[in-house]
Amino acid sequence: MQSFLFVCLGNICRSPLAEGIARKIAEDRALGIVVDSAGTGDWHIGEPPCRNSIKVAKEHNIDISSLRARVVQQEDFERFEYIVALDESNLQTLQKMGAKNVVKLGDYGYKGEDIPDPYFFNGYEGFEKVFQMIEVCVNELISVECFNKEDENENSK
């Protein structure tokens, strides 16, 4: 079973959106995948996602209000097959922590672009763009890493 841990800085804006979107895709396609999210920073441990992330997700019929922020742990690198960094800075932090299985979300459909951090945006503007970027990339990530792998497994039987 494939497993994905989405990691951003605070685990309150971007990675909860990625987690919610991935859960929705898994539900819609009846995929048995494991999905979670975490942050590299510890400022918001135990907090729900930021108001604007909850709002933009809700507008797309995804409820992320019950998620709670946590910090990424060393054991996550063993527990999850893919550690998915939302930007280059997150990627480098995770590599410094020793993760060998880190990928960058923007490499799936967005030419390696960072997912911009909406925590520093002025108000709600920009959250829809961030949602759409994450949605494109998470769809591509799941298609490439779940479906293409399934095809490979089928072909090697």
CB of 152 to ligand 4NP, least distance (A): 33
Tell which residue, 2, 7, 5, has the closest CA to residue 90. 7
Map tokens 């960094």 to a residue.
85
14 sits in which H/E element: helix 14-28
Q: Which residue is nearest to ligand 4NP (CB)?
A: 10
Q: Is 149 exposed, middle or buried (0-12, 13-18, 19+ CB in 10 A)?
A: exposed
Catalytic residue, from 13, 14, 36, 114: name it. Answer: 14
Question: Does 13 participate in catalysis according to the annotation?
Answer: no
Which C-beta is closer to ligand 4NP: that of 105 or that of 146? 105
| Distance in angstroms (rounded) separating the CA atoms of residues 81 and 112 | 20
Q: Using CB under 6 A as the criterion, which residues of the chain lie in contact with ligand 4NP when the complex forms? A: 8-14, 39, 43-44, 117, 119
Question: Does 79 participate in catalysis according to the annotation?
Answer: no
CB of 75 to ligand 4NP, least distance (A): 21
Catalytic residues: 8, 14, 117
